[in-house]
């Protein structure tokens, strides 16, 4: 299958928002999606972006049955590991179901790794981090096949989150 991988731009936000909703539907958590196209435009394409994105696109002759040519994406941001130094966190990796198994997910993930390795005068990121749902065996298998490890199993770490009222309470002096 013919496809291309490129850096996302502000014009892609409508399709990114659509695919975020599709991913949430797949993960059965649509009620948790609060992000809007406008949020993506502001947060990803301002002077100091909170995230960066990669888009997978197919030519017109391979567009989806709904007419979409933007068929996958990855969102990532830079972080820091006190043990390893520079790191990148891949928030999302998504390929529309009808395009899976064609190397597009691997190409998206590879591009995130390439970009993160090239930053900072050759002193790029040393690790790529992300989460995956424990019930999503096909994704877990895909990531293990790429050489990734499961730190929950290997090191016993748990990914924690503090949000909503709990974060408001925590922020009180």
Domain chopping of the chain, boundaries = 4-130
Question: How confident is residue 43, by pLDDT bands cut at 50, 70 and 90?
Answer: very high
pLDDT for residue 78: 94
Q: Of the ranges 1-10, 16-25, 118-127, 141-150, which one carries the lowest mean pLDDT score?
A: 118-127
- Residue 50 has what DSSP assignment? S
Would you say residue 122 has pLDDT above 70? no
* Active-site choice (73, 76, 99, 143): 143
pLDDT for residue 131: 94
Q: What is the pTM of this model?
A: 0.91
80 catalytic? Reply is no
Residue in the structure block whose two tokens are 């997910």: 105
Q: Of the ranges 28-42, 84-98, 109-123, 127-141, which one carries the lowest mean pLDDT score?
A: 109-123
Question: CA-CA distance, 169 to 38, in Å (whole number)?
Answer: 28
Q: Which residues contact 43 (CB under 8 A, 6 or more apart)?
A: 49, 50, 51
Do 119 and 135 meet the contact criterion of CB atoms below 8 Å apart? no
- Residue 127 has what DSSP assignment? E
Do 44 and 52 meet the contact criterion of CB atoms below 8 Å apart? yes
Question: CA-CA distance, 95 to 104, in Å (whole number)?
Answer: 7
Question: How far is C-alpha 47 from the chain's CA centre?
Answer: 21
Strand partners, 93: 74
**Phi first, then psi: what are they for 77, rounded to 5°?**
-150, 160
Sign of CA pseudo-dihedral 101, 36, 110, 25: negative
Share of the chain above pLDDT 90, in %: 84
pLDDT for residue 161: 86
Per-residue pLDDT of 64-94, as tens digits, reads 999 999 999 999 999 999 988 999 999 999 9
Domain 4-130: CATH architecture, name and number where available: 3-Layer(aba) Sandwich (3.40)
Residue in the structure block whose two tokens are 């820091």: 80
């Amino acid at each position: 299958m013919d496809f291309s991988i490129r850096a996302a731009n502000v014009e892609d936000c409508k399709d990114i928002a659509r695919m975020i909703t599709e991913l949430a539907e797949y993960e059965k958590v649509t009620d948790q999606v609060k992000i809007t196209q406008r949020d993506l435009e502001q947060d990803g394409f301002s002077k100091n972006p909170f995230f960066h994105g990669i888009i997978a696109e197919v030519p017109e002759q391979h567009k989806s049955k709904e007419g979409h040519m933007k068929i996958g994406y990855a969102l990532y941001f830079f972080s820091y590991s006190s043990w390893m130094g520079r790191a990148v966190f891949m928030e999302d990796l998504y390929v529309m179901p009808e395009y899976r198994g064609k190397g597009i997910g691997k190409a998206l993930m590879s591009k995130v790794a390439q970009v993160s390795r090239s930053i900072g005068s050759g002193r790029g990121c040393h690790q790529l981090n992300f989460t995956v749902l424990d019930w999503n065996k096909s994704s877990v298998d895909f990531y293990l096949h790429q050489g990734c490890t499961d730190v929950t199993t290997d090191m016993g770490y748990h990914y924690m989150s503090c949000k909503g009222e709990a974060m408001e309470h925590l922020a009180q002096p």
